[in-house]
Structures are given as structure tokens and as C-alpha cells.
A = this chain, B = another copy of it.
């Protein structure tokens, strides 16, 4: 089945660390039944309370590398010495069920998804300002100035990739950001070619 016949589309949510990607993702998942989370795989060890298959597929380094060679992943990237990736199987299953699938991933992974699924919606979350991002990155209160400065540098680097994303959502208020991401998904379902597929599956006589 070609990806264009999917009823759902992949939705890439990227943005610098601290911008609020996960909070927005969780709000969308809680509110809308037609939006689901992607399944991710990683080589990092489970944290307390994390379960295999629920939070992540926890794979050994060897299994992950074999997966890469076998084309198992829609995207994969190394972050701080650990591998993260999105297996194609569960992603395409969810798309075929008609759900839009949220992928909260870094910019490298995001661009790979767009390559594999050109219909993917590419959304970049922007912090209201550098100052606010610095505050959010510092606010965890557990890290040194050097660590925070490194995070800010990474954030600036990630921000340069916003130029490759189709949509920009400013996370000034959670409510506004969630409703803008939701609007982007709803609007895309109304695009002619996508609406045509959906309406003909509903058996609408006109089309």
C-alpha cells in the first residue's frame, strides 16, 4: 500500500529542548481520538517505571544496528551516544487505521520522516523568546551554567532548521499552541486530495 493511500499522515513536532513539545503532544493525545502517538525504539536503558512496548521499544545496540541495515526505521538518529528511531511497522499500521501520528523528534529525524513520507506535516515549535527559552532550560534547577549554555547552543542550532519546516507554532500559551497544531491537522484533512479519499471511503455519492 503506497503511503498516499493512508488516511492518516505523520505529524512531525520538532523544536528546541525546553520549548514544550512533550506537553503539547500529551494534550493532543488526551483530547483527540484521531491523533495517536508514534512508537519509538531506543538503545538507552529504561528509566524507572518505563515499560518495553509502552514507552519505548528498548533495543540492544546490536538489534538497533541490524534494524537500521534492514530498513526498519522511518527515521533514526544518535543523540548523546544513544540511538533513537521510529519503526515503520507500527507507524504505518496507525496511519492505515486513519489516525494522524504524532512524532516528537529532533530536526535530523524530522527531515528523514519528510523524505520517507512526503505528506508528513512538519511543525516547528518556537519559544516566545531567547530569554524565555533560557528560563525554561534553567528552570529545572539541577544543572550547571555550562550545561545550560550548551543546551542553549544546541537550541540555537536546532532553531536554524525551522526554515525547513512547513509550519511554525509559537508556544506562548499552551492552549493557543495546542489549538494551532490541532488546526493544522484538521485543515490538512480538508485539502482536496486528502478529502477526496476520505469522502469516497465514507461512501458519499457526490464525488
Contacts and interface: CB of A to CB of B under 8 A. Distances in A.
Interface of A: 123-124, 126-131, 159, 162-163, 165-170, 179-180, 182-184, 186-188, 190-192, 195-196, 199, 204-207
Contacts of A191: 166-168
A165 B169 CA distance: 26
Contact of A190 (B162, B169, B192, B204): B169
B190 A183 contact: yes
Closest 5 CB pairs of A and B: A187-B187, A183-B186, A168-B195, A183-B183, A184-B187
Given A170-B199, A183-B183, A199-B168, A126 B190 contact: no
A169 B188 CA distance: 11
A119 to B, nearest CB: 15
Contacts of A196: 168
B165 A192 contact: yes
A27 B123 CA distance: 29
A13 to B, nearest CB: 13
B206 A159 contact: yes
Given A159-B206, A162-B192, A167-B190, 10 more contacts: A124-B192, A126-B207, A128-B204, A129-B205, A129-B206, A130-B205, A130-B206, A167-B192, A168-B195, A179-B186
